[in-house]
């Protein structure tokens, strides 16, 4: 197996077009990681670390940002505003006739939707930047800024998100496809050494059996995920007007995938189900005792270990999976195409 992998990579490197894509993609990823270590000023690092350890939503966002959010770098927001903008436009495609018409326009329509997604990313990033400042200020992580300094901070974080989106599109155009997804994957992988080092620091010799069991379960789960993701039923299509040498119509296939929606419903569901907990933590520190008590109740109800959290999480995953699958595999649209 390893010889096949080595042979594949050696053959890929010897191919000029693939080698060019690899070099361009590697350079852009290096720039992305270097920019993620440029910190923003006025942050108490110790308090910031403690805040992220106590907030599941912030920890989740930090994973998708590749650690830039916990470091509060200029790329602190990462690609989250762009992902949210993309999901919002997909949802609006069902209620706005003009967007629905663009979705049927093929490559031209997709380009216009991508342009609208970029434009929507800017105000979403600005709002998220201000919300992040308000949260950190309430937790005494960042000092009170004057209007000009606050405007500079919001503009810096918004520009960081736009810069990350631009890097992702450069990868898509000149490197490999799905550049934004590749940046997200790079950020997640970049957190692995830190996670492994933290796990190794608390490792004890009597835990060797638990570690082996964990590795076995991890391999089995990864295998099952790949099996489910690749599972598909080939639906044959016969074109009566296309004649072949045998005189029969040409045949092609539509892959009816078992998991049409991928991980998008899970990401969206986790973000929504953890949002009340984040708001509860923010409102729990305000002077009004009634609102503070309600905020603490909400934080307790949406604790990841509570039953209510898991029930709502399951319901959101089910709903978003059904909705996204209908959008990705729409029989009416497929028949029209």
Give the pLDDT band of residue 2 (cuts 50, 70, 90): low
56 vs 141 pLDDT, higher one: 141
Q: Give the H/E segment covering residue 253.
A: strand 249-257
Highest average pLDDT, of 124-133, 286-295, 321-330, comes from 124-133
- pLDDT, tens only, 246-260: 555 556 777 788 888
Long-range contacts of 328-337 (CB under 8 A, 24+ apart): 328/260, 328/261, 329/256, 329/257, 329/260, 333/104, 334/254, 336/104
Ranges in the chain annotated CATH 1.10.3370.10: 1-202
* Joined tokens for residue 66: 């590749």
Judged by DSSP in three states, 104 sits in: coil
Q: Which has the minimum average pLDDT: 146-160, 199-213, 220-234, 288-302?
A: 199-213
232 or 42, greater pLDDT: 232
Calculate mean pLDDT across residues 38-44.
Answer: 69
Mean pLDDT along residues 192-209: 64
Q: What is the pLDDT of residues 62-121, one digit of tens each?
A: 666 656 666 778 888 888 888 888 878 877 877 778 877 777 777 778 888 888 889 999
pLDDT tens sequence across 308-320: 888 888 888 888 8
- The proportion of the chain whose per-residue pLDDT surpasses 90, expressed as a percent, equals 3
> With bands split at pLDDT 50, 70 and 90, how would you rate the model's confidence at 218?
confident
| pLDDT score at 195 | 65
Domain 1-202 matching CATH 1.10.3370.10: the answer reads: yes
pLDDT classification of 274: cutoffs 50, 70, 90? confident
**pLDDT exceeds cutoff 70 at 59:** no
Per-residue confidence (pLDDT) for residue 3, from 0 to 100:
66
The encoded tokens of residue 164 equal: 């990350």
Helix (H) / strand (E) containing 124: helix 107-138
The pLDDT assigned to 201 comes to 62
**For residue range 172-183, what is the model confidence (pLDDT) as tens digits?**
888 877 788 788
290 pLDDT higher than 60:
yes
Please give the residue that has the higher pLDDT: either 301 or 118: 118
Nearest residue to 69 (alpha-carbon basis) of 151, 128, 27: 128
Phi first, then psi: what are they for 76, rounded to 5°?
-60, -35
Distance of CA 321 to the CA centre of its chain: 16
Q: What is the pLDDT confidence band of residue 122, given thresholds at 50, 70 and 90?
A: very high
């Amino acid at each position: 197996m390893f010889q096949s992998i080595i042979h594949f990579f050696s053959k890929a490197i010897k191919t000029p077009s693939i080698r060019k894509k690899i070099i361009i993609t590697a350079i852009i990823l290096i720039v992305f990681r270097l920019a993620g270590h440029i910190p923003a000023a006025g942050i108490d690092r110790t308090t910031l670390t403690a805040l992220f350890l106590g907030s599941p939503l912030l920890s989740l966002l930090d994973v998708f940002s590749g650690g830039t959010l916990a470091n509060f770098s200029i790329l602190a927001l990462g690609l989250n505003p762009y992902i949210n903008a993309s999901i919002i436009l997909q949802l609006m495609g069902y209620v706005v006739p003009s967007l629905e018409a663009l979705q049927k326009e093929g490559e031209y329509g997709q380009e216009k939707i991508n342009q609208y997604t970029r434009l929507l990313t800017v105000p979403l990033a600005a709002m998220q930047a201000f919300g992040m400042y308000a949260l950190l200020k309430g937790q005494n992580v960042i000092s009170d800024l004057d209007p000009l300094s606050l405007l500079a901070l919001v503009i810096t974080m918004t520009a960081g998100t736009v810069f990350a989106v631009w890097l992702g599109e450069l990868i898509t155009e000149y490197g490999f496809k799905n550049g934004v997804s590749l940046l997200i994957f790079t950020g997640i992988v970049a957190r692995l050494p830190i996670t492994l080092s933290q796990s190794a620091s608390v490792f004890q010799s009597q835990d060797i059996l638990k570690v082996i069991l964990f590795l076995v379960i991890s391999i089995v789960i990864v295998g099952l995920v790949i099996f489910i993701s690749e599972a598909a039923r080939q639906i044959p299509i016969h074109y009566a007007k296309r004649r072949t040498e045998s005189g029969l119509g040409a045949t092609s296939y539509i892959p009816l995938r078992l998991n049409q929606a991928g991980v998008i419903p899970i990401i969206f569901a986790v973000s929504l189900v953890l949002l009340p907990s984040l708001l509860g933590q923010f409102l729990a520190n305000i002077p009004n005792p009634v609102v503070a008590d309600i905020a603490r109740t909400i934080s307790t109800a949406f604790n990841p270990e509570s039953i209510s959290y898991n029930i709502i999480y399951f319901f959101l995953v089910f709903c978003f999976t059904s909705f996204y699958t209908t959008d990705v595999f729409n029989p009416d649209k497929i028949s029209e195409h």
